Amino acid sequence: MLPVMVEQIGLISSLMALAWNLCITLLLLALQQSCFLVTTALSNVHIVYMGDRSRGQNEKQLVEDSHLDILSHILGSKSAARKSILYSYKHGFSGFAAVLSQSQAKLIADIPGVVHVTPNKILSLHTTRSWDFLHVKQDIATGILSRGQSGRGTIIGVMDTGIWPESRSFRDEHMDNPPPRWRGTCQEGNFFYHYHCNRKIIGARWYVKGYEAEFGKLNTSDGVEYLSPRDAAGHGTHTSSTAAGVAVENASFMGLAKGLARGGAPSAWLAIYKICWATGGCSSADLLAAFDDAIFDGVDILSVSLGSSPPLPTYVEDALAIGSFHAVAKGISVVCSGGNSGPYAQTVINTAPWIVTVAASTIDREFPSTVILGNNQTLQGQSLYTGKDLSKFYPIVYGEDIAASDADEDSARGCDSGSLNATLAKGKAILCFQSRSQRSASVAIKTVTEVEGAGLIFAQFPTKDVDVSWSKPCVQVDFISGTTILSYMEATRNPVIKFSKTRTVVGQQMSPEVAFFSSRGPSSLSPSVLKPDIAAPGVGILAAWSPASSVRSLTDELPPLNFNIESGTSMSCPHISGIVALIKTTHPTWSPAAIKSALVTTASVKNYYNQYIGAEGAPYKEADPFDYGGGHVDPNKVTDPGLIYDLDNSDYFHFLCSMGYNNTAISMLTGSPIRCHKSPKFLLNMNLPSIVIPELKQPLTISRTVTNVGPINSTYIARVVAPIGISVSVEPPTLKFSSKKLKMKFKVTFSSKLRVPSRFSFGYLFWEDGSHEVRIPLAVRSVVREFLC
Ligand SMILES: *[C@@H]1O[C@H](CO)[C@@H](O)[C@H](O)[C@H]1NC(C)=O
Ligand SMILES: *[C@@H]1O[C@H](CO)[C@@H](O)[C@H](O)[C@H]1NC(C)=O
Ligand SMILES: *[C@@H]1O[C@H](CO)[C@@H](O)[C@H](O)[C@H]1NC(C)=O
Ligand SMILES: *[C@@H]1O[C@H](CO)[C@@H](O)[C@H](O)[C@H]1NC(C)=O
Ligand SMILES: *[C@@H]1O[C@H](CO)[C@@H](O)[C@H](O)[C@H]1NC(C)=O
Ligand SMILES: *[C@@H]1O[C@H](CO)[C@@H](O)[C@H](O)[C@H]1NC(C)=O
């Protein structure tokens, strides 16, 4: 069965290229026009959210009937209601998705019991590559991540593009049967049957109604997509195997990064929720349906590598925030990617306090590639080219010097699409300089491929994020080397260059560093909640892939890829999901907040060489909490944090109150009446494992409570590294825990020594007992009080 299918895909690879481009164009168009769509009633999927399932409605059928009643009331008949409804959400929370006009949506919003009505939204996956040029990427599980029971007994739900069940990463030989508490199913569809679930993949479902209502029926006849949990894109296979893939020997990407690939929690079970399609798009109506089912099915952890870009919707309007709220309220940890919009401040997304938001860091692996100039000078760059041998000199030209007659020099310098004269470029190596609009080398690679250049040198800001180039060598060098090459070319009559084979080098570089693309805090929605929470590997990650992926649409006949190298916060998120499974296995009763606290307080801020971890994108800068939250995850410490900063559901309700949300709306969200004290101070006093004060005007005292999860009789002493210009005192300075005192409260007072406004400055508060170092980050910005004349 399977080989036949793969071959079919091979035959139609050129068709796929066409369809792929068309798909992407349509998606981009649709995205650009989405503001029109909303007003022209073309975008007609709405999500009607009705909060927690109210007590009386225990019968699921009754809940669904009540949704149909509301719809019939507005649409005039039961049959119209049945036609319009896409999903009835009834397990984790109540609500539905339906096709509605603007005016119908307005009417429904006024019905008692409806919290709010929002238009369906399209979210995207968090790889660094733009989806118009999908490259092969893969998550290579770094061996450090496995420990102890390796996640045995824990179920990780992955909301993504599905899974390639035949991958070696999902073999189930050493897996246990699913536990009796598991209520999930194996939903069949195109090329996916019940036997594709096993003791590793214990459940699989797929959701397409919201997506199709927005973009029309998916065309599956060309093999670019499957209406089933089967992954046509690769992304979901990559994230799933990163979280919980079993060990695979000799995994590599075309021979690069060769070694043992395995997930963070190789003994954990996987439950697959396919909500994203090979276009990279996912609909929020489908996402909510997946949350609803995952809560019912009984997952322990949800790994969600997707999101929408800023501006951030409010927490009561954001499908991901709502779905995750209900999951966390039922004890499920939700781990999300923080986005790839760095290195700019305030770009982080998925910032609700109940979510674990993950930044991406580099790992200690590089793919160096040497170029030799005609004058015998040797320069070092990076490449993921694995093609044929290249041991000869090629003439080299500068993009700007071979601009097409109708292209401007700027775009030719960056080798932008259509900017080069094919006659002049053919057979030559081309030097391109990254332009301000380019995030990576991918567009330049495509251009040089199209004009049949021999290869390219892409000069750019320094980063370890390397693009895959299939048919032509692409060596990425920094601007210094790029300028050296340009100087050589200008000083030489017939400049030439030689490429060489890429190697894999491990363990010799400054790492980890926060990746340039990783989105940065503070949160634009709730700046006093530190985001991101934690950093994990997300650059050049090798993991399992879907051999059906459209990667091959690019150029030539590649063998179907079973492993691939990818970058993005999409890749760092499942690393944390896997590590959360290790914590969950060791401490099954810990709340999602306790687990997050353990991740944050044990994270490391120094690298293997005891130097502070840096951040790409801001030159030679040490990373700060807005880059990586508590720091870089340390899987060897997470299960023994000593103290935890815990939270329960009522803290989240009070947080929403303090955010200024409607009392009634929150009561519906929580399913029980709640009295809001709209105290802005609560935002600061929420028991998070961090303290962020966006505006320190006068001395301010904040409280926190820690719970001892280490040895019963422990004494912890406070130590502060104060932010520059801020004085910090802790009261009491010592905490003595005993069997009677498991939880203790303390106060931290901040005052500014500055007389001028300042930027955020950063520090740390430690509680130390001689064996544990419980560290939380501090971020404070002092503002000068205004003096009125
Ligand atoms: C689906 O794709 C195939 C191959 O690209 C094409 O021939 C067919 O017309 C498409 N069908 C629809 C309904 O668009
Ligand atoms: C891995 O590759 C090496 C060298 O290519 C080979 O000797 C070894 O047998 C392979 N191991 C497995 C399990 O395939
Ligand atoms: C480069 O090195 C080769 C071999 O070492 C030598 O033959 C050649 O003359 C050198 N070229 C220049 C320009 O130095
Ligand atoms: C490319 O360059 C050649 C030679 O200079 C010229 O004849 C041709 O018109 C150019 N084509 C374009 C599209 O710029
Ligand atoms: C808050 O909710 C109540 C009850 O649903 C409603 O009457 C009121 O208009 C809401 N206020 C705002 C500001 O939305
Ligand atoms: C903790 O201290 C109490 C009082 O000193 C003592 O009775 C108890 O045995 C100690 N418990 C442990 C686990 O050391």
Over residues 243-258, the pLDDT tens digits come to 999 888 877 777 777 7
- The more confidently predicted of residues 218 and 352 is 352
Contact (Cβ atoms closer than 8 angstroms) between residue 512 and residue 214? no
678 or 560: which carries more pLDDT confidence? 560
Please report the pLDDT score of residue 669 as a whole number: 67
Is the separation of the CB atoms in 283 and 122 below 8 Å?
yes
pLDDT at 192 over 90: yes
Which residue, among 747, 731, 739, has the nearest Cα to 710 in the 3D structure? Answer: 739
Q: Which of 52, 132, 139, 160 is catalytic?
A: 160
Confidence class for position 139, pLDDT limits 50, 70, 90: very low
Residues facing 459 on adjacent strands: 433, 477
Q: How far is it, in rounded angstroms, from Cα 214 to Cα 47?
A: 13
pLDDT of residue 40: 35
Residue 128 has pLDDT above 50, yes or no: no
Closest residue by Cα to atom 13, ligand 3, is: 375
Nearest-CA residue for atom 8 of ligand 3:
376
Pure H helices in 629-727: 649-658, 663-670, 680-685
* Three-state secondary-structure class, residue 283: strand
Distance (Å) from CA 393 to ligand 3 centroid: 13
Q: What share of the chain in percent tops pLDDT 70?
A: 86
pLDDT at 26 over 70: no
Q: Ligand 3: which of 376, 496, 497 to mutate, most ligand atoms within 8 Å of CB?
A: 376
Angle at 93 between CA 120 and CA 664, to 5 degrees: 85
pLDDT at 13: 31
Give pLDDT tens digits for 303-339.
999 998 888 988 888 999 999 999 999 999 999 999 9
Residue 240: in which H helix or E strand, if any?
helix 235-244
Q: What is the pTM of this model?
A: 0.86
Q: Which ligand is nearest to the CA of 426?
A: 4
Confidence of residue 272 (pLDDT cuts 50, 70, 90): very high
Residue appearing with tokens 């009392």: 663
- Band of pLDDT at residue 33, cut at 50, 70 and 90: very low
Q: What's the alpha-carbon Rg for the chain, to the nearest Å? A: 27
Q: What angle do CA 571, 28, 536 make, to 5 degrees?
A: 10
Q: Identity (one letter) of the amino acid at 703? A: S
Mean pLDDT of 1-25: 28
* Site to substitute for ligand 5 among 662, 663, 667, 669, most atoms within 8 A of C-beta: 662
CA of 391 to the centre of ligand 5 (A): 72
Query: Can you state the angle between helices 649-658 and 663-670, rounded to 10 degrees?
Result: 160
Nearest to 540 by CA among 520, 561, 564, 562: 564
Worst-scoring range by mean pLDDT, 25-34, 172-181, 682-691?
Answer: 25-34
Number of separate helices (H) and strands (E) present in the chain? 20, 39
Mean pLDDT (the chain) is 85
Active-site choice (67, 116, 196, 235) = 235
Compute the distance from residue 665 Cα to the ligand 5 centre, in Å. Answer: 8
Three-state DSSP state, 260:
strand
Pocket of ligand 1 (CB under 6 A): 15, 19, 219, 221-222
Task: Supply 315's token pair.
Answer: 């927490």
The crossing angle, in degrees rounded to 10, of helices 60-75 and 102-109 is 120
From the candidates 333, 419, 570, 572, which is the catalytic residue? 570
pLDDT surpassing 50 at residue 682: yes
Q: What is the predicted pLDDT for the residue at 30?
A: 30
Distance CA 332, CA 298 (A): 9
Instruction: Choose between 389 and 431: higher pLDDT.
Output: 431
Contact between residue 210 and residue 87 where contact means Cβ atoms under 8 Å apart: yes
d(CA 11, CA 387): 21
Q: Which residues line ligand 3 (CB under 6 A)?
A: 375-376
Q: What pLDDT is attached to residue 506?
A: 75
Question: d(Cα 738, Cα 711) in Å, to the nearest integer?
Answer: 9
How far is Cα 448 from Cα 411, in angstroms, rounded to an integer? 13
Q: What ranges in 529-591 are assigned the alpha helix state H?
A: 569-586
- H or E segment and range at residue 750: strand 743-752
Asked about 73 being catalytic, the answer comes back as no
Q: Is 570 a catalytic residue?
A: yes
Give the model confidence (pLDDT) of 431-463 as tens digits.
999 998 888 898 899 899 999 999 999 999 988
CA 655 to chain centre: 24
CA of 437 to the centre of ligand 4 (A): 26
Encode 19-48: b = buried (16+ Cβ within 10 Å), e = exposed.
bbeebbeebeebeeebeebeeeeebbbbbb
Q: Strand pairing of 269-274 and 155-160?
A: parallel
Measured on CA atoms in the order 268, 273, 275, 279, is the torsion positive or negative?
positive
pLDDT of residue 36: 28
The Cα–Cα gap between 453 and 293 comes to 50
Which residues are near ligand 2 (CB < 6 Å)? 249-250
The residue that leads in pLDDT, 182 or 503, is 182
Q: What's the token pair of residue 556?
A: 């030539």
Identify the band that residue 516 occupies on the pLDDT scale cut at 50, 70 and 90.
very high
Sequence letter at residue 672 = S
Q: Is the dihedral of CA 231, 233, 237, 239 positive or negative?
A: negative
Q: If you average pLDDT over each of 38-47, 107-116, 533-542, 607-616, which comes out highest?
A: 533-542
The SS3 assignment for 625 reads helix
**How is residue 760 annotated by DSSP?**
-
> What's the rounded Cα separation, in Å, for the pair 700 and 684?
10
Beta-carbon contacts of residue 22 (< 8 Å; ≥ 6 apart):
none
pLDDT of residue 61: 80
Q: What's the pLDDT score for residue 137?
A: 27
Q: Determine the pLDDT at residue 589.
A: 96
Q: Separation of 642 CA from ligand 6 center, angstroms? A: 17
Residue owning the nearest CA to atom 5 of ligand 2? 250
Q: Please report the pLDDT score of residue 44 as a whole number.
A: 87
C-alpha 380/C-alpha 502 separation (Å) is: 11
Percentage of the residues of the chain whose pLDDT score is greater than 90: 59
